[in-house]
A and B are shown apart, each in its own frame.
Chain A
């Protein structure tokens, strides 16, 4: 089981939940794929139609920015935590 932490601005796409549990583990991609199958509107806020994490969305695996490790190939262990956060951007 992997826990997804959903930011407030996206909770409407997750039935209002701040935390989601998914069965998939192994890689961040597998975790986000399961998010896409169960909460597709949430997933497409996180990834574009090419499956890439959107530029101004940050994804942390156990507290580490996935862009500073292996992107969506970053390992996610059973019991891990994936946090979604919008980056500081805009005017």
Chain B
């Protein structure tokens, strides 16, 4: 059993951790899989982190890390000195002079979300994120200030980096009191079925009352030099793509940083809670849990760095994503390459 093996390895680690940490150059001890020539061997062992590797001959015998400890292999990994994470790589920090996608951003009326990716309309570049991050769920007005970092991360008027430019309104459907939620859903979904039939050739921006396709907004940077397209910890996206079931994806977000997940559902019709009112979305993508509050607005990419979606909602068990094609056509933009 894997759990038994892990439990054993833990015991061995506990028995030797202080001894190992007292050796020269050692800065950490943990459990992990041995990496050989960059490949995960699947073999559980003790990972000993060192500031740098030294020749055995240059070390005192007492400072040598044994190759085996009670039946578990050790793996010596160079990590350098550990430091408390500085603001240089903190997505919640204030980024200047250039703000990369993947970091905290928001409208002053919003806690904080994530700058997803850089897009363009003609020669002009824009910050892409969610309506509920940049436009405060339809409450924002064009020209409103956008802060980096967002308010929850200490952003104030001094952190103004962009202005709200455009957003797709979120339609919360009917407010007729005599229409129950169930009746409303049936009505709107029947409308969808009538409009689209079972054809898969959905028209990208066809608008159906009460049914949303995207939670998206654009902000115009105060200067184009203030932003770049290279997503923090991921790199420059190479284009856009589509998802398939079971595919691996990645994102860089303000709260959980760089994470990966798997596509578990496509073509999803789903009810999303906006802190009280719920909105119905169709044509959505669901991935395994890979995000938390504050990651909204993150661009979701495949492992070849093609942008496939815009993250906007989720739970402990799922991540909800707008397909990027729908986002781009609704806002009439393309990826800034």
Whether chain B is bound by chain A comes out as no
Which residues of B line the A interface, CB within 8 A?
A: none
Which residues of A line the B interface, CB within 8 A?
A: none
